[in-house]
Amino acid sequence: MAGYDVLVIGGGVNGSGVARDCALRGMRTLLVDKHDICHGASGANTGMIHGGARYLLYDVQTAKDSCTDSGYIQRIAPHLLFRIPFLVPFFKHDAFAELVMAGADMFFAAYDHYQPLKRGKTHTRLTRDEALALEPGLTPDIIGAVTMDEWGIDPFRLVIGNAVSAREAGADVRTYTEVTGLLRGAEGRVTGATLRDALTGEVTRVEATVVVNSAGAWAPQLAAMAGARLRLRPGKGVHVVYSHRVSNYAFITLGVDGRQMFLMPHENGTICGTTDDDYYGDLDRLIATEDEVGYIRECGERVLPALKQLRMQRCYVGVRPTLFKFGVNEDALSRAHQVFNHAEDGAPGFFTLAGGKLASFRQFAQEATDEIAAVLQNTRECRTHLDPLPGGESAPDVEVLSRQFRWPLSAVGRVAYRHGSRARRVVEHADHVEGGRCVVCTCEPVTAGEIAYVAQHEQVRRLADVRRRTRLGMGACQGARCLVRGAAVLIQAQDRPAQDVFDEVRDALTARWRGMKPVMEGPNMAVAELSQYVHLGVGALHEAWQVKPP
């Protein structure tokens, strides 16, 4: 039986962050996830590395901590961050609109005090004409606006960067590896876990001095394996993705019930969301409903009426592992985080991470690792705020790379954004792959070389893992044009049986379809039918594969 200092369960942002911190402090670390890295809430959020201005109303410490950690995340992963300038419009038909705008002006003046922590700009008050000049698509029904400055990130690359860094510092990382039970020793001590490989069915046992439950919304299930009761307020959040960018600015806007939501440019599209509703359903069968989509649309169209004409591409859904509190609306729940030491529940050696935000993950991981280090009597200092994540060392010269390796400038630009200083390694890698410079996914764009690179260096076990690392299939066509081509590259790069990878094309298209179905209407249907046509075609191919020649 293999032995580790630390077993980390859950490859979301918190688990990957803890694994990185533990490995950098020299602990023998194993990180496992029952799916891929970034499968849970960490891959289904708004992607903002923000303070969260509204938390100033009821949770000042979390807003401050998030701003501070945002500053550190910018330092260690500058290539992944992008500025999101916001407009907060005020509507002439709203009650006391002038008064509310004056109040907001004062409110954002308070938030300005935290902006230097994350290199943010202070707010400005705009007249109606100034706001409309900046964003002509904004509804004319406004009396003015206030600006606010935040940062966004590709959450997939952030989490994968942490996992890759953990591995490079000596950790083992095993994806599609589910913890099905905990091993117990004397006096109830948790001494390891039983693992089941979801792809091979192989069952193994690992021993670890400390076991960390960072399973997000699934954490209560893991805690129960140690006989501990952990209560969360899991909050379901849905976003709608539009197929194009329609504005330069992001907007803070309100739902019909007065809840705050965001409408913002994100990657090559626009996202609007999010809902926040208590969730009691199956965490492994999340679906968005048409009602939720309608609610989000109404909120976005109030600000940008032209959204009505824009194609909704899909929606996505995740569940926040929010800390439990009774008698409070979901919106007003704290986004604070907490490390639970289950020694108090008769399970020494077992810790749970609950709550938190993407924006404060590094600090959360540091606090958890400090507790783990105390058990292991490890006195090494935390370095996660100093050591860059893979690619965060320096900015590559995109034009030089494009000229030198004869790659399309747009493709090199995306590679530089995703891989930072490692962009050179990615483009060099393409020279060893047949057709390495070919753009496989034109929406994003993604080259065959980049797919081959992540297949070999970033823990890819299935085709869908390539999507999380490169955005293959996440653009306007939702994989209809690129997934089969991506599969062909993967077959070659990993020397895998073609039949297996074609099964994965079918699974990947099914997963895309699940996100597209709730937004289906009008012109969306045409794109959906094309996608279904490809889906069925691949399905038929799969069936044909089973037929033995006569």
Nearer to ligand FAD, 40 or 120 (CB): 40
CB of 252 to ligand FAD, least distance (A): 13
Query: Distance (Å, rounded) from C-alpha 239 to C-alpha 474?
Result: 14
Contacts of 433 (CB under 8 A, 6+ apart): 448, 449, 452, 489, 492, 493
Nearer to ligand FAD, 102 or 198 (CB): 198
Nearer to ligand FAD, 84 or 416 (CB): 84
CB of 212 to ligand FAD, least distance (A): 11
CB of 355 to ligand FAD, least distance (A): 7
CB of 52 to ligand FAD, least distance (A): 7
CB of 284 to ligand FAD, least distance (A): 9
Nearer to ligand FAD, 358 or 451 (CB): 358
CB of 36 to ligand FAD, least distance (A): 8
Place of tokens 């929010």: 322
CB of 363 to ligand FAD, least distance (A): 12
Place of tokens 């192989």: 202
Is the separation of the CB atoms in 215 and 193 below 8 Å?
no
CB of 97 to ligand FAD, least distance (A): 27
Nearer to ligand FAD, 144 or 234 (CB): 234
- Of 358, 59, 49, 4, which is closest to residue 174 (Cα–Cα)? 4
Contacts of 107 (CB under 8 A, 6+ apart): 53, 56
Half-sphere exposure of 390 (CA within 13 A, CB side): 24
- Of 157, 146, 125, which is closest to residue 49 (Cα–Cα)? 157
- Of 321, 15, 340, 407, which is closest to residue 173 (Cα–Cα)? 15
Contacts of 96 (CB under 8 A, 6+ apart): none
Chain centroid, CA 483 distance in Å: 21
The token duo for 328 is: 């409070």
Nearer to ligand FAD, 12 or 515 (CB): 12
- Of 217, 419, 410, which is closest to residue 323 (Cα–Cα)? 217
Widest pairwise Cα distance in the chain = 80
Place of tokens 């991470």: 353
CB of 41 to ligand FAD, least distance (A): 4
- Residues of this chain that interact with ligand FAD (CB under 6 A) are 9-15, 32-35, 39-42, 44-48, 178-179, 214-218, 222, 237, 274, 318-321, 356-359
Phi, psi of 238 (to 5 degrees): -115, 140
User: What CA–CA distances, in Å, run from 550 to 85, 503, 541, 547?
Assistant: 64, 23, 17, 9
Nearer to ligand FAD, 50 or 429 (CB): 50
Nearer to ligand FAD, 227 or 408 (CB): 227
Nearer to ligand FAD, 330 or 450 (CB): 330
Place of tokens 């810790």: 351
